[in-house]
Amino acid sequence: MAAPEPNADAPAIRVRALSKTFDVPVRAAGLRSALTSIVKRKTRAVEAVREVSLEVAAGEIVGFLGPNGAGKTTTLKMLAGLLHPSAGQAHVLGFVPQDRQKAFLRQITLVMGQRNQLLWDIPVEDSFERNRAIYRIAPADYRRTVDELSDLLDLGELLDKPVRNLSLGERMKCEVAAALLHTPRILFLDEPTIGLDVTMQRRIREFVADYNRRTGASVLLTSHYMADVEALCKRVVVIHHGRILYDGALSELVQRFASHKTLNLELEEGDEGAGTDLSRYGEVVSSGAGRASLRIPKAETPATTARLLSELPVKDLTVEDPPIEEVIERVFSAEAE
């Protein structure tokens, strides 16, 4: 079992037509079907991931976007070797993930925002100690990494507290640190900032970006918070119903899918658009106190702007792209149609 030597130029992750089908038991309500299901289990195949192909270069940060149940986490789990694909191939650092070779596992890590691996009742550092033993980190390296991480994440006095005494944010910082003690080259982050307050979210984000810069590790991230994705990922992969709908730069996603722009108006005092029916110009999102927001189809934006400026006493006017959440939502609804 020769461990494949990772080639520096090869992509860190290479996925070809990866699919995952789950057999979900189905059972109608009632005693009768409960009894028959004991003898003969009926199952329904659910395609969680369908023919996903993608490549991730070393050092790249890729955001996985998609609604709940889109297949993001299933894909992540296949790449981490937790789930066997039903079809297709995946190579991560040259390894086949589901073989779960030790050399592979030593180079990856998994962080799940909704679950923790730290032991509840014991001080954080003891949990670290366990990981040190499992990953067989040399004491000197371990010491250095812990110092570095506690510096960057400001863990200082948290280390000797039992996990149950930490706040959610503090716990997450420690979770992330515990997951990085062995300086992995691939990070799988599943909703790492879920439930955290804005400051703590930013903290974790900055740390991930920093780790990526320093070590050149690749990061695969799923998140519901667009702020995470906007801050970290130049590239996003949008998944819906198990399929890739979009794979490319975040900026281009907006260009491609945003159909509307938002016009924010401020009118001169005294004339608050009284008598003017703004809906002539476009869909009114909000209005009042001399201000209004209009939603205008992208193609009509120049013309409408010109009309507004000539017909109304406009004091100020700005044109904005819609929030990214809205764009994403649009991608999904477009697919559904």
Write the DSSP string, 145-157.
HHHHHHHHHT-GG
How many CB atoms within 10 Å of residue 296?
20
Measure CA 171 to chain center.
Answer: 20
Candidates 41, 84, 143, 144: give the one binding other proteins (CB under 8 A): 84
Q: Is 315 helix (H, G, I), strand (E, B) or coil?
A: strand
Choice between 105 and 265, CB closer to other proteins:
105
- Give dist(CA 240, CA 258) in Å, integer: 18
Q: Does 110 bind other proteins (CB under 8 A)?
A: yes
DSSP class of residue 271? Answer: -
Q: What token pair was written down for 313?
A: 């006493």
Using CB under 8 A, which of 3, 17, 133, 319 touches other proteins? Answer: 133
- Contact indicator for 252, 331 with CB cutoff of 8 Å: no
Helix, strand, coil % over all residues of the chain, rounded to 5: 40, 30, 30
Q: Cβ closer to other proteins: 46 or 285?
A: 46
Least distance in angstroms from the C-beta of 272 to other proteins: 55
Tokens coding 326: 């809205």
Report the C-alpha gap between 313 and 88 in whole angstroms.
Answer: 61
145 sits near other proteins (criterion: CB under 8 A): no
Measured from the CB of residue 162, what is the shortest distance to other proteins in angstroms? 7
Q: Which of 18, 61, 80, 238 binds other proteins (CB under 8 A)?
A: 80
Query: Residues 236 to 265: which contact other proteins by CB under 8 A?
Result: none
Neighbours of 174 (CB within 10 A): 26
Instruction: Show the binding pattern over residues 60-79: x = contacts other proteins (CB under 8 A), - = does not.
Output: -----------------x--
For 83: left if phi > 0, alpha if psi spans -120 to 50, otherwise beta; the answer is: beta
DSSP per-residue letters across 239-270: EETTEEEEEEEHHHHHHHH--EEEEEEEEPTT
Q: Which of 12, 70, 105, 296 binds other proteins (CB under 8 A)?
A: 105
Closest CA to 14 of 69, 47, 62: 62
Tokens of 296: 């205008």
Q: Does 124 bind other proteins (CB under 8 A)?
A: no
Q: Which range of residues in 118-126, 201-209, 226-234, 300-308 is near other proteins by CB under 8 A?
A: 118-126
Shortest approach of other proteins to residue 110 CB, angstroms? 5
- Supply the minimum distance, in Å, between the C-beta of residue 174 and other proteins: 14
The partner residues of 89 in beta bridges, in order of sequence, read 16
Asked if residue 119 binds other proteins (CB under 8 A), the reply is yes
- Asked if 19 touches other proteins (CB under 8 A), the answer is no
Other Cβ atoms closer than 10 A to 98? 16
Q: Does residue 247 sit in helix, strand or coil?
A: strand
Residues binding other proteins: what is the number (CB under 8 A)? 37
Judged by CB under 8 A, which of 56, 108, 153, 155 binds other proteins?
108
Nearer to other proteins, 161 or 291 (CB): 161
Q: Which residue, 36 or 117, has its beta carbon nearer to other proteins?
A: 117
Q: Stretches 33-41, 64-72, 128-136, 231-239: which one binds other proteins (CB under 8 A)?
A: 128-136
Contact status, residue 260 vs residue 247, Cβ threshold 8 Å = no
Q: Which stretch binds other proteins (CB under 8 A): 95-103, 232-240, 269-277, 297-305?
A: 95-103
Q: Kindly state whether residue 21 participates in binding other proteins, applying the rule CB under 8 A.
A: yes
Contacts to other proteins by CB under 8 A: 20-23, 77, 80-84, 86, 98, 100, 102-106, 108-110, 112, 115-117, 119, 121-123, 126-127, 129-130, 133-135, 162
